[in-house]
Structure 1
């Protein structure tokens, strides 16, 4: 899920840029922006493929880092995961719009589209950090899990309250056109 791989003693482990940073304290009085802007990054040389631009898998990697920033925004950090709970991505729909190359600035935003006791529905946008060109979007469904039991479980009440506050702020914006759209080859039924 990260922009970096490796750490001392575990070179194969994926590490997010926010790992080890804990989480933000929730402030009920703080205004919740629509959308949230929690993650910016330049295109890493490790993300550039043989075509000279960011590889398709790395778009998802950057969106994953944006999700991690969101988790920390709502109060999920290392202590939460150490207690055996986390949010897992169960479905992602990516839309790649434009190419980017090494060193170009990426600016990520995130909207909470919906949630219930166990699930969180997110929408990410990746824009060029200089001219705001839309580069890619990601729609994701996440599920809250009890890792020890290996199954879904309800989010704690305080996280549901925080998600409720974010959802109220974000629900005033129009739904992005690509949300919920199935993938397929459109065929003319008359031929």
Structure 2
């Protein structure tokens, strides 16, 4: 069973692993595929499928893998900078059962000097069926002030390169949706 508590709280499977070296000449996959995992027994609820909160846990692990891909790790955070998630929209499309393989993708939809708009898709690792999606807005933060901060030049350049590679992808169907009850126009 994965120990979710570290000395500072919840940990991810990537914590303690340094980021990879950035190769500016390497082809950037579109979308990125940086994380996969089976559905753990502790993620399964009383309905015998993965609990809704665990989908977010897995998307968070996928984000941590993405951060390591671009150069963000414990050393980066020790410098006083990090990303915070400020908004998340999850679409639950299909059930995931204990032991089933999950394969995740990561797409950078938009970017400015302080924010990243990302989209993640969770697929069944065997059938390829789309199980869930997460659309998120991330803000780059100065940990000392607790306020948004511009991305350092090198990191911003890496993210721009990923954004350029991902600009060729279609906008996912679930991106940009709002929550609400759809009613005919003449219904109060």
TM-score range, shorter chain: over 0.9
Matched, 1:60 2:17: no
User: Could you say which residue in structure 1 is the equivalent of 2:129?
Assistant: 133
Counterpart of 1:63 in 2: which secondary structure? Answer: helix
Which deviates the most, 172-181 or 104-113? 172-181
Q: Tell me the secondary structure at the aligned position of residue 126 of structure 1.
A: strand
Over residues 79-103 of structure 1, what are the superposed CA-to-partner deviations in whole Å (9 max), with x where a residue is unaligned? Answer: 0001111000000000000001111
1:158-173 map, 5 Å: 158-173=154-169
For residues 4 and 178 of structure 1, the distance between their equivalents in structure 2, rounded to whole angstroms, comes to 32
Rounded Cα–Cα distance in structure 2 between residues aligned with 1:6 and 1:61: 13
2:144 to 148, 158, 162: 148
TM-score (norm 2): 0.96
> Do the aligned partners of 1:125 and 1:137 also contact (CA within 8 Å) in 2?
yes
Q: Following the alignment from structure 1 to structure 2, what is the Cα–Cα distance between the partners of residues 142 and 53?
A: 29
Give the TM-score, by structure 1 length: 0.95
Q: Does 1:107 align with 2:103?
A: yes
Separation in 1, partners of 2:73, 2:136: 20
| Structure-2 separation of matches of 1:69 and 1:139 | 16
Runs of 5+ consecutive residues of structure 1 not aligned to the other structure: none
After superposition, the C-alpha distances for 1:53-84 in whole angstroms (9 at most, x for unaligned) are 10000000100000000001000011000111
SS in 1 for 2:15: coil
- CA distance in 1: counterparts of 2:169 and 2:29, whole angstroms: 11
Aligned residues: 186
Cα-Cα RMSD: 1.1
Q: 2:113 aligns with which of 98, 111, 117?
A: 117
Query: In structure 2, how many angstroms separate the alpha carbons of the residues matched to 1:13 and 1:103?
Result: 25
Match of 2:65 in 1: 69
Q: Does 1:157 align with 2:156?
A: no
CA distance in 1, matches of 2:13, 2:89: 23
Partner of 1:93: 89
Secondary structure of residue in 2 paired with 1:109: strand
**SS of residue paired to 1:60:** helix
